[in-house]
């Protein structure tokens, strides 16, 4: 959604394309958080750990997905606003930054809670 808004803004403006591309890439940070959580949960699955691994993995994945979608909406709105009134570009990113904060909360919560899952991390020698 933000990428589409960026392309539309590029058609209507003569310069400043880089900032539109940068804003449209903001929601991709949730993918990085998800990859880190995935590696954190990469361990042998046992009866004791299965429910925790599944719960943390699915709920964190869903939270990050919803966050990325909503941040895409915020970024698209910021691009539209900045296109019409370039002087508010920085201020228009505040809602997207707030949504990013919720993604960071989900990420940190997943890391903290995953430490309590029984079992050792996978990928050891032998």
pTM value is 0.79
Mean pLDDT, the chain, whole residue set = 85
pLDDT at 126: 47
- Beta strand segments in 50-92, E: none
**Alpha carbons 62 and 60: distance in angstroms, whole number:** 5
What pLDDT, in 10s, does the model give residues 17-33?
Answer: 777 778 888 888 999 99
What pLDDT, in 10s, does the model give residues 76-120?
Answer: 888 888 888 888 888 888 999 999 999 999 999 999 999 888 876
Domains of the chain, each with CATH number or no CATH: 2-114 (1.20.120.610)
Asked if 37 contacts 59 with a C-beta cutoff of 8 angstroms, the reply is no
Q: Is the pLDDT of residue 123 over 60?
A: no
pLDDT at 33: 95
First to last CA, the chain: 46
Share above pLDDT 90 across residues of the chain, in percent, rounded to a whole number = 44
Tokens 């804003």 label which residue?
23
């Amino acid at each position: 959604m933000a990428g589409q808004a960026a392309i539309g803004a590029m058609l209507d403006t003569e310069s400043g394309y880089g900032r539109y591309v940068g804003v449209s890439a903001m929601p991709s940070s949730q993918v990085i958080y998800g990859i880190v959580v995935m590696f954190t949960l990469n361990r042998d699955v046992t009866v004791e750990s299965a429910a925790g691994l599944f719960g943390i993995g699915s709920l964190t994945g869903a939270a990050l997905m919803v966050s990325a979608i909503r941040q895409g909406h915020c970024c698209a709105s910021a691009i539209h606003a900045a296109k019409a009134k370039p002087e508010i570009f920085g201020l228009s990113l505040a809602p997207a930054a707030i949504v990013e904060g919720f993604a960071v909360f989900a990420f940190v919560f997943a890391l903290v809670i995953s430490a309590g899952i029984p079992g050792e991390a996978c990928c050891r020698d032998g």
